[in-house]
């Protein structure tokens, strides 16, 4: 089960790609080049990456409003994503979805979802398909600490247990749902414990630690693929930004954000660990950084150069036939 | 040709489709029944017995009982529809849409559009609609206008067993989400239903009566009352087109407009609350597109702006009666 | 805290009234005199009675589709209830509500509710009123084993914990939701445990034992009135009938119903206990039985004699003004 | 007289009502913000700042932040409304009605009827509607026809700050459930708003332009576009009545019918998806009750039968534009 060097490199590339992607999205949004409401994922890269590395494209992921990182980790095309967020015809969803609805069924990405708690029911549906069709595939849904209080999420957990579905509920607890603390909104203060009471194993991991997430997922994935039913994982995480780009973050404590960026940066933690343990060399990471920067640069450039959807697109894709 | 009730026609159609296509599964509360108890396995078959017997042939893997968690299992069915299954999910009473509306309105209906055309969502949501059984304010509503107004959904409302079969076949094989609404008072009505396979295309109304004096548009159980009124008037030499829309999304505008272009007079009968109903919609289509053919005000006959009352004395006047329909038709003929 | 003789008599009267009421409703329904879908409560009398005896009319109860027993225990007028179930103008809701919607706000009865999981949100609302207005009142919601899987119920528990509301979640586990066993539908098999994981104390009681229910409620009520927040109680119970009147009950095991009626009748258990412990005499119970029979007789008689609502009632009571 | 934005008018009105009546409470996600965190208490005041500052004056007991559990807290507010409070509950984006529709449709709307008139349910549900902010398919809808069709609810849609104040006062003091829909693109629009208290009765439309050549009916943000078109035509000597319905339940039928009786021509502009919209409803009312005054087909200008697209290039043509409205008006004048 020890990770190969290529896998570790791959993990770093994914995390770095997410970071770079989100930082550029933020910058371009602030410059006015990106429309709409955008929720970026930077800070939480280790969770999406550690979780999705176990999946093939026939496994399905259901995501949240903060979905870019999940999409990237699941293998969605970076340029298609950037163009989508910019509302271009070349976007993954032809510009019709936007940041909150990026999806790519062919990559097993069931979509970001602008309705909090929207994804878990859909994800257990993908698990039902896998079970009924007898594949060994599984599904994974992401839910935030805030979303963990939504009725659909509870119902999905019960259904997954009753039907013994090959699915994983990943709770990313970044401490806030919009402007409200998880310490307030999660009455019991223990998302994993609450999930466990629904009748499935629940694991708690440090979501800043890619390796910890990867390992917990291994257990959950093995269980799912071998017919052992669902697992819940609560990953502690940090949000490096506001709820959406532009949030003044008045709910943060004095110096909180600086502290987080300094001490709780999953990328720094990862680099330190892999270099310290001599798993990778700094130069390897630097090389990836450069490649990723080039990729994101060209994604932004190509995105801005791409056309907006033509008027005739307004009424297509509503039905497959009507 | 065999005579079947709507209940039987739906049951037979589900069975034949499940035999034909192993990805068709049935999901819902008590669609089999008997799970987690000591009695027999096929204990329910749906609260009105529509799915009775299917679990025996197809097993619990394909006839899936759920906990009472509509948002969860309707969403689950929607997710399954994008990933290889063709679920026929039962919401029991359509009034329960209140607890799972997001899954229908924001999720399954919009996937294809939001995802830029990259997914099909072949799901059928079956549910019972309508008043008449003294089931009161939370089990008797006609919410078809609500779903008909939602882009991305198709909405089917058969008025007889023949149509129920042909429309359900089309629904199951369709690649878009279809809301299939069964009127509870119609389950035991019957007619000839051929054994052979036939698909009724969506958006194609049926003329259940023909005549050029007036156009009466309706759907679901109200069609029966419209026919009754038309027959009565026919005995007097007044002939009506009675148009059964069969699907309220898509709408067969052509059939309605053509009929009105001849008759010049239109009455629409809808069991929904009148405001923003299909009656309103059909009226507005005609007032826009066949205005110059109209020779009289367009009459809507619908349920009043009130919840469905429990008491028989009130429910019986809440639902449009044949007498109310007849009055509206006569008034329109005379206007 | 020991119950006074008058209270024990009162408890018996309530239980007997519910039993008699439901048996007559069943009989009249079967004769065709009662329209609609009717879910009777007989078998579960000890739960409603033990729970509601602690409440005043300024405490609120939210009920279910199987609400007659809760209404009676909460003090609703018997004749008004019977007339309502018959759809008469003299009914508690003027014939507009029917069996699934009997309500009487003046008695603190927020209504039977035909939507499974409908009541808990409303009941915590009544608790919010009590807390905000600074009364010492509380609220109590009833939910079945089947209903315990509904998202609204989970959300309500979390809200009650977050806002520390004076409310009690009573789960009546009668083993079935319609035709499906709780053993199947409650994935974790432990409603109380699941409630506890939401962050509130959860008690398990034998719902056939009035005294056990009464005692558990005492603890919950004391907590609520003293500002200690919510409590959950799971009461095991038995349903003496089908889901609705007319249900062939094919899901029952061989002889199950006979066994339940013989060994698990809360009224028999109550009588045996109070007579055995010399708390009451048989003759006292018999006297109540007779009085109750007379009351129900006249409720039925007056109900049948009462007029149906006039046509003019169709459009009244939709709004207070429009 | 002070000039205020709609945001400010609503904020001030909430504050004055909370001062006047201690049973008025505000409930919703982040209506205060900052709970369970280390920052300041009044961290949000609603995602668009509409309730900003209220927690400072009234405290967390009356400005109640909730977990993300709309069904739970909307139901809680409904229960509170029957038991002594007058909650103003915020649903944030009205699109979220999908997860709490039962509480609105089956519960609060029906209490009074089901309970035989024995309860009042004085609750206001505030929510944002409408497209224009590139918020895409799940945050941009106009669902007012859906709630307007539900008996038991009242539905308010102010188009300006003056009306927002007068209508919100009426809503809070009303004893029935009121859905109060704020168009997100209007928050920063402003006009004169008197400091004195004034209540605008429900069911009373406003004529924002007057003229006898044609009648244009609209509501919410579309009123601004209709005014624009009317002003342009006025410069050509063509005068339109522009009717701002202000409430879509109740509907001021009288205002519409009277205007059409004079003009004989009607265009209805509604940002909702066209099918079963308020445009359909108003059209059908006129086609029934003022048919003989009509001199031209009734035109509906509404959103097409598709979800709201994200891309600016599509969203801008999805929402009825002034150009489309103008075309419809000219066509109707010429028909
Ligand atoms: C049903 C619903 N309610 C409310 C919202 C508004 N909303 C969007 S994100 C969010 C907070 C989610 O918090 P969390 O689940 O912790 O995710 P995070 O933003 O921290 O990633 C809220 C309240 C929504 N989109 N959908
Ligand atoms: C939202 C919703 N889903 C389904 C139903 C249909 N239904 C009515 S009662 C019931 C079973 C409830 O079981 P339980 O909560 O255990 O209560 P019991 O009938 O045993 O008292 C169901 C599924 C409903 N009324 N509302
Ligand atoms: Mg969070
Ligand atoms: Mg039960």
The pLDDT tens digits for C254-275 are 999 999 999 999 999 999 999 9
Q: A311: exposed, middle or buried (C-beta count within 10 Å: 0-12, 13-18, 19+)?
A: exposed
Q: C168: exposed, middle or buried (C-beta count within 10 Å: 0-12, 13-18, 19+)?
A: buried
Residues 6+ apart with CB under 8 A from A57: A74, A75, A106, A107, A108
Residues of A in contact with C161 (CB under 8 A): 187-188
CB distance A155 to B71 below 8 Å: yes
What confidence score (pLDDT) does residue D70 get?
A: 98
Per cent of chain D over pLDDT 70 is 100
- pTM of model > 0.90: yes
Tokens of C268: 């028999």
Among D33, D37, D312, the residue with its CB nearest the CB of A35 is D312
pLDDT 10s digits, D87-105: 999 999 999 999 999 999 9
Tokens of A131: 């079970």
Report if residue C58 sits inside a domain. Answer: yes
Report if residue A260 sits inside a domain. Answer: yes
Tokens 């194993």 sit on residue: A201
Tokens of B331: 């008034």
- Closest ligand by atom to D98 CA: 1
Query: What radius of gyration, in Å, describes the C-alpha atoms of chain C?
Result: 19
Report if residue A316 sits inside a domain. Answer: no
Confidence of residue B1 (pLDDT cuts 50, 70, 90): confident
What confidence score (pLDDT) does residue C191 get?
A: 98
Pick the CATH number of B3-192 from 1.10.10.10, 3.40.50.970, 2.120.10.10, 3.10.20.30: 3.40.50.970
B99–D114 C-beta distance less than 8 A: no
What does pLDDT average to over chain B? 98
Nearest CA to ligand 2 atom 17: C144
pLDDT at C1 over 70: no
pLDDT 10s digits, C36-92: 999 999 999 999 999 999 999 999 999 999 999 999 999 999 999 999 999 999 999
Report if residue C313 sits inside a domain. Answer: no
Per cent of chain C over pLDDT 90 is 99
Query: What radius of gyration, in Å, describes the C-alpha atoms of chain D?
Result: 20
Residues of A in contact with D69 (CB under 8 A): 149-151
Residues 6+ apart with CB under 8 A from A162: B66, B67, C184, C185, C187
Tokens 């570790």 sit on residue: A8
Tokens of C202: 């959860």
CB distance B163 to B134 below 8 Å: no
Whole-number Cα distances in Å, C202 to C39, C209, D62, D300: 27, 18, 29, 57
C110 closest CA partner among C96, C95, C127, C94: C127
CA A153 to chain centre: 17
What confidence score (pLDDT) does residue A2 get?
A: 81
For residues B75-85, average pLDDT: 98
For residues A26-36, average pLDDT: 97
For chain B, what are the domain ranges? 3-192, 206-334
Among B68, B306, B310, the residue with its CB nearest the CB of C87 is B310
CB contact burial C2-34 (16+ within 10 A = b; e otherwise): ebeeeebbebbbbbbbbbbbbebbbebbeeeeb
SS3 at position B156: strand
B295 closest CA partner among B335, B236, B240: B335
Domain D206-334 is found in CATH 3.40.50.920: yes
pLDDT 10s digits, B18-40: 999 999 999 999 999 999 999 99
pLDDT 10s digits, A199-254: 999 999 999 999 999 999 999 999 999 999 999 999 999 999 999 999 999 999 99
For residues C211-224, average pLDDT: 98
Residues lower than pLDDT 70 in chain D? none
Which among B67, B70, B94, B137 is the top mutation candidate for probing chain C, defined by the most C β-carbons within 10 Å of its own β-carbon?
B67
Is-same-fold flag (B3-192; B206-334)?
yes
pLDDT 10s digits, D65-74: 999 999 999 9
What confidence score (pLDDT) does residue D279 get?
A: 98
- Closest ligand by atom to C120 CA: 2
Ligand 2 atom with least separation from CA of C177: 13
Query: Looking at residue C260, which CATH number applies to its domain?
Result: 3.40.50.970
pLDDT 10s digits, A153-165: 999 999 999 999 9
pLDDT at A87 over 90: yes
C175 lines ligand 2 (CB under 6 A): no
* Neighbors of chain D by Cβ distance (3+ pairs < 8 Å): A, B, C
Report the residue of chain A nearest B89, measured CA to CA.
Answer: A125
CB distance A163 to B64 below 8 Å: yes
C200 closest CA partner among C229, C241, C243: C229
* Neighbors of chain B by Cβ distance (3+ pairs < 8 Å): A, C, D
Report if residue A267 sits inside a domain. Answer: yes
Could you give the CA distance from residue A200 to residue A192 in angstroms, rounded to a whole number? 10
- E strands within C138-256? 139-144, 167-173, 176-177, 180-181, 202-206, 231-236
Residues 6+ apart with CB under 8 A from B26: B14, B18, B51, B54, B58, B62, B63, B64, B87, B88, B89, B90
Could you give the CA distance from residue B103 to residue B113 in angstroms, rounded to a whole number? 15
Query: What radius of gyration, in Å, describes the C-alpha atoms of chain A?
Result: 19
pLDDT 10s digits, C91-103: 999 999 999 999 9
pLDDT at B223 over 90: yes
Could you give the CA distance from residue D12 to residue C318 in angstroms, rounded to a whole number? 31
Between β-strands B154-156 and B178-183, what pairing exists: parallel, antiparallel or unpaired? parallel
What confidence score (pLDDT) does residue C2 get?
A: 81
Q: What is the 3-state secondary structure (H, E, C) of B259-308?
A: HHHHHCCEEEEEEEECCCCHHHHHHHHHHHHCHHHCCCCCEEEEECCCCC
ipTM entry: 0.98
Whole-number Cα distances in Å, D37 to A178, B81, C244, D42, D112: 11, 41, 49, 11, 40
Q: Catalytic site residue B183? A: no
SS3 at position D206: strand
Could you give the CA distance from residue B201 to residue B219 in angstroms, rounded to a whole number? 16
Range of the domain at A107: 5-305
Q: What is the DSSP string of C27-56?
A: HHHHTT-S-S-----TT-HHHHHHHHTT--
Report if residue A144 sits inside a domain. Answer: yes
Q: How far is the CA of C276 from the centre of ligand 1 (A)?
A: 59
Report if residue A110 sits inside a domain. Answer: yes
Q: How far does the CA of residue D150 sit from the closest CA of chain C (Å)? A: 10
Per cent of chain B over pLDDT 70 is 100
Q: At what angle do helices C78-85 and C282-305 cross, to 10 degrees?
A: 50
Q: How many domains does chain C have?
A: 1
Residues 6+ apart with CB under 8 A from C267: C15, C16, C19, C45
For residues C225-241, average pLDDT: 97
Which among A38, A64, A89, A96 is the top mutation candidate for probing chain D, defined by the most D β-carbons within 10 Å of its own β-carbon?
A96
What does pLDDT average to over chain A? 97
Could you give the CA distance from residue C229 to residue C223 in angstroms, rounded to a whole number? 6
C116 lines ligand 2 (CB under 6 A): yes
Backbone φ and ψ of A267, nearest 5°:
-70, -45
> If phi over 0 gives left and psi between -120 and 50 gives alpha, with beta otherwise, what is residue D33?
left
Q: Does B106 touch chain A (CB under 8 A)?
A: yes
Per cent of chain A over pLDDT 90 is 99
Could you give the CA distance from residue D308 to residue D129 in angstroms, rounded to a whole number? 12
Residues of B in contact with A113 (CB under 8 A): 107
SS3 at position D272: strand
Q: Which of residues 116-175 of C touch D (CB under 8 A)?
A: 118, 120-126, 128-130, 132-133, 139, 151-152, 155-156, 158-159, 162-163
Ligand 2 atom with least separation from CA of B139: 25
Could you give the CA distance from residue C261 to residue C210 in angstroms, rounded to a whole number? 17
Confidence of residue A1 (pLDDT cuts 50, 70, 90): low
Query: Hey, which residues of D are catalytic here?
Result: 139
Tokens 């007319």 sit on residue: C246
Q: What is the DSSP string of C177-211?
A: ETTEEHHHHSTTS-HHHHHHTTTS-EEEEETT-HH
Report if residue A311 sits inside a domain. Answer: no
D184 closest CA partner among D144, D137, D133: D133
CA C260 to chain centre: 19
Tokens 């199950």 sit on residue: C256
Tokens 């009267």 sit on residue: C13
Residues 6+ apart with CB under 8 A from A101: A93, A111, A112, A113, A114, B114, B115, D136, D137, D138, D310
pLDDT at A104 over 60: yes
Confidence of residue B186 (pLDDT cuts 50, 70, 90): very high
Q: How far is the CA of C257 from the centre of ligand 2 (A)?
A: 20
């Amino acid at each position: 089960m020890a990770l190969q060097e290529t896998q570790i490199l791959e993990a770093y590339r994914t995390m770095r790609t997410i970071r770079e992607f989100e930082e550029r999205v933020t910058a371009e949004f602030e410059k006015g080049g990106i429309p709409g409401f955008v929720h970026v994922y930077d800070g939480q890269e280790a969770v999406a990456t550690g979780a999705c590395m176990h999946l093939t494209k026939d496994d399905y992921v259901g995501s949240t409003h903060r979905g870019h990182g999940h999409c990237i980790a699941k293998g969605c095309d970076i340029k298609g994503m950037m163009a989508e967020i910019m509302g271009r015809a070349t976007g993954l969803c032809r510009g019709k979805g936007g940041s909150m609805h990026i999806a790519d069924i062919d990559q097993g990405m069931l979509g970001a979802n602008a309705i909090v708690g929207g994804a878990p029911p859909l994800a257990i549906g993908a698990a039902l398909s896998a079970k009924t069709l007898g594949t060994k595939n599984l599904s994974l849904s992401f839910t935030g600490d805030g979303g963990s209080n939504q009725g659909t999420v509870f119902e999905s957990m019960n259904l997954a247990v009753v039907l013994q579905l090959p699915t994983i509920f990943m709770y990313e607890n970044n401490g806030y749902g919009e402007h409200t603390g998880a310490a307030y909104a999660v009455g019991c203060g223990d998302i994993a414990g609450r999930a466990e009471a629904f009748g499935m194993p629940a694991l708690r991991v440090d979501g800043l630690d890619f390796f910890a997430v990867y390992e917990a997922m291994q257990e959950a994935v093995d269980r799912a693929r071998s017919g052992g039913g669902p697992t819940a994982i609560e990953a502690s995480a940090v949000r490096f930004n506001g709820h959406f780009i532009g949030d003044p973050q008045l709910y943060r404590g004095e110096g909180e954000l600086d502290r987080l960026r300094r001490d709780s940066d999953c990328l720094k933690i990862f680099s330190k660990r892999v270099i310290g343990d001599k798993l990778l060399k700094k130069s390897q990471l630097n090389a990836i950084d450069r490649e990723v920067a080039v990729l994101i640069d060209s994604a932004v450039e190509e995105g801005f150069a791409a056309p907006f959807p033509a008027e005739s697109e307004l009424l297509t894709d509503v039905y497959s036939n009507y | 040709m065999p005579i079947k009730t709507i209940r039987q026609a739906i049951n037979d159609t589900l069975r034949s489709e499940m035999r034909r296509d192993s990805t068709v599964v049935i999901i819902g509360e008590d669609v089999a029944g008997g799970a987690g108890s000591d009695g027999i396995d096929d204990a329910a078959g749906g609260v009105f017995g529509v799915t009775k017997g299917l679990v025996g042939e197809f097993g619990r893997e394909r006839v899936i009982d759920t906990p009472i968690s509509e948002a969860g299992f309707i969403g689950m069915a929607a997710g399954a529809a994008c990933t290889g299954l063709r679920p026929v999910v039962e919401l029991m009473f359509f009034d329960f849409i209140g607890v799972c509306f997001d899954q229908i309105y924001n999720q399954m209906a919009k996937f294809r559009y939001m995802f830029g055309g990259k997914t099909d969502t072949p799901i059928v949501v079956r549910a019972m609609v309508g008043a008449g059984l003294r089931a009161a304010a939370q089990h008797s509503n006609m919410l078809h206008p609500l779903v008909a107004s939602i882009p991305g959904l198709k909405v089917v409302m058969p008025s007889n067993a023949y149509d129920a079969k042909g429309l359900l076949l089309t629904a199951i094989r369709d690649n878009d989400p279809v809301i299939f609404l069964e009127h509870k008072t119609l389950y035991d009505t019957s007619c000839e239903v051929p054994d052979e396979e036939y698909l009724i295309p969506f958006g194609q109304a049926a003329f259940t009566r023909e005549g050029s004096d007036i156009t009466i548009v309706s759907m679901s159980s109200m069609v029966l009352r419209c026919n009754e009124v038309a027959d009565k008037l026919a005995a007097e030499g007044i002939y009506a087109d009675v148009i059964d829309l069969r699907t309220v999304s898509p709408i067969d505008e052509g059939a309605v407009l053509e009929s009105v272009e001849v008759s010049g007079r239109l009455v629409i009968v809808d069991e929904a609350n009148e405001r923003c109903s299909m009656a309103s919609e059909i009226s507005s289509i005609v007032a826009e597109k066949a205005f110059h053919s109209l020779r009289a005000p367009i009459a809507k006959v619908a349920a009043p702006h009130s919840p469905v009352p429990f008491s028989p004395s009130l429910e019986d006047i809440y639902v449009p009666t044949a007498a109310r329909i007849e009055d509206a038709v006569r008034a329109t003929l005379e206007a």
